C-alpha cells in the first residue's frame, strides 16, 4: 500500500489521524490548505452568495495541491497519507450548488479528477453530527461556529452515497463513536492495525470501535 486518503465530515479528526500515521510509519503527509481560502468565512455567513466562488476556489486549490504534491504512482516511497481527497470537492459542492452551476462544476471536476491517482485505501472516519459539533466548538475556528446539525448530516449522507456508488474503490469506514484516538493510544493502535491489515475488499468495509 502506497497511498492512503483519510476522509470524514467536518471535525471528524482527519488531520490528526494523518499526522499520527505519518509520525508512526514515517509516511509523507499531505494536509489540505483550507485556512487559506478567502471565501470560507463569507460562505458560512451567506451560503447562497458565496457557494459558487467557494467551490471553484476549492476545486482549483485541491487540484493544484494534489497534482503538485502527489508523486507518480511508481514513485510513491514508502507511503503517502493525505487528510482529504479530490472527491471531497464534488461531495461538498453537491450540497451547496444546484442547476447549471452544479452541472458546470461537475464537468470541470471530472476533467481534473481523471488525471489524479486513486488511493489504495480510502479511510472514512465516521462520527455522529452531535459529536462533530462538539469537536468544532472545541477547536474554536470562528467562521465554523455557525455550522448546523442538518448541514453536517447532509454532508455525511453525501459521503455515504459516494461510497455506495464507487464499488471499485476500497473504503474502510471506521465508526469512531465518541472515542478519542488522539489521547487514547490504544484506540489509535487499533485504527492503525485496521488500516494496515491488508484484508480489505472493494466497496465499503465497515468497522465499529
Torsion 93-60-166-122 (CA) sign = negative
Q: Pick the catalytic residue: 46, 48, 83, 178?
A: 83
DSSP code per residue over 183-209: T-HHHHHHHHHHHT-----SEEEEEE-
Helix (H, G, I), strand (E, B) or coil at 19: helix
Give the separation between CA 170 and CA 144, rounded to whole angstroms: 31
- 150 catalytically annotated: no
Q: Which residues of 19-32 are buried (b: 16+ CB within 10 A; e: fewer)?
A: bbbbeeeebbbbbb
46 CB burial (10 A radius; 0-12, 13-18, 19+)? exposed
Q: Which of 207, 144, 135 is nearest to 171 (CA)?
A: 207
The residues that are catalytic are: 83
Amino acid at each position: 500500500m502506497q497511498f492512503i486518503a483519510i476522509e470524514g465530515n467536518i471535525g471528524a479528526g482527519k488531520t490528526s489521524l494523518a499526522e499520527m500515521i505519518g509520525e508512526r510509519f514515517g509516511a509523507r503527509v499531505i494536509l489540505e490548505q483550507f485556512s487559506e481560502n478567502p471565501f470560507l468565512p463569507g460562505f458560512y455567513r451567506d451560503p447562497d452568495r458565496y457557494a459558487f466562488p467557494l467551490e471553484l476556489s476549492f476545486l482549483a486549490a485541491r487540484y493544484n495541491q494534489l497534482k503538485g504534491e502527489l508523486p507518480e504512482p511508481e514513485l510513491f516511497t514508502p507511503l503517502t497519507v493525505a487528510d482529504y481527497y479530490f472527491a471531497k470537492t464534488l461531495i461538498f459542492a453537491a450540497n451547496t450548488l444546484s442547476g447549471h452551476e452544479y452541472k458546470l462544476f461537475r464537468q470541470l471536476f471530472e476533467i481534473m479528477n481523471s488525471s489524479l491517482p486513486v488511493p489504495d485505501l480510502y479511510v472514512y472516519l465516521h462520527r455522529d453530527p452531535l459529536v462533530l459539533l462538539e469537536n468544532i466548538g472545541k477547536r474554536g475556528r470562528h467562521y465554523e461556529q455557525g455550522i448546523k446539525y442538518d448541514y453536517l448530516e447532509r454532508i455525511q449522507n453525501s459521503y455515504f452515497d459516494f461510497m455506495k456508488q464507487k464499488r471499485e474503490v476500497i473504503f474502510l469506514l471506521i465508526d469512531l463513536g465518541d472515542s478519542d484516538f488522539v489521547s487514547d493510544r490504544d484506540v489509535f493502535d487499533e485504527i492503525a492495525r485496521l488500516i494496515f491489515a491488508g484484508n480489505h475488499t472493494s466497496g465499503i468495509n465497515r468497522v465499529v470501535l
